[in-house]
Amino acid sequence: MATAVRPQSTTLADVNGAAMAAMLAAGIGALAMALFVILNEAGMFAAPTLYGPAGGVTGRTTFATLVWLVVWGGLHTRWRARQIAPGRVFGLTLAFVGAAVAGTFPPIWGLL
């Protein structure tokens, strides 16, 4: 009796581009969130409010989410069949996430 065999999963040795794209895009999306927050607090740019009762947070979070998805789609398209140096991508991702957490931390705004 023939046994169905699931295809072996994609190995990192083949291509890791999709994984790297997902990581870096998350870092860039997080950084975008912090940038929208800081620009808003500095009075330089306010993302439009998308739902009045909830206020400006709806615009900031939606815009940042859109940046994340667009960047992810772009990186995924370019990298999905490629092997990407993971160390540099992961380092960048961590740096972006660190900056994002700092940028969305209210005491930082007080320094503006």
Partner 1 sequence: MLFSERSIWTMVHGIGLGGAALLGLAAALFYLYAARPVPDPTGNETGSRAFAMVTVFSAVMLWLTVIIGTYIIFPPYRATPPPGTTDLSQFPRALVLANPGTAWLHAFAMEIKEHMPWIASMLTTAVAFIAVRYPGTVLRDRPLRTMVLTLLAIAFVLVAGISLLGVFVNKVAPLD
Q: Is 99 in the site for partner 1 (CB under 8 A)?
A: no
Q: Is 104 in the site for partner 1 (CB under 8 A)?
A: yes
For residue 61, the minimal CB distance to partner 1 (Å) is 5
Query: Can you tell me the distance from the alpha carbon of 28 to that of 91, in angstroms, rounded to the nearest whole number?
Result: 12
Q: Is 19 in the site for partner 1 (CB under 8 A)?
A: yes
3: Cβ–Cβ under 8 A, 6 or more apart, which residues?
A: none
> What are the Cα distances from residue 70, in Å, to 67, 90, 100, 108, 109?
5, 19, 18, 28, 27
Q: Which residues bind partner 1 (CB under 8 A)?
A: 5-6, 8-12, 16, 18-19, 22-23, 25-26, 29-30, 33-34, 37, 51, 53-55, 57-58, 60-61, 64-65, 68, 86, 90, 93-94, 97, 100-101, 104-107
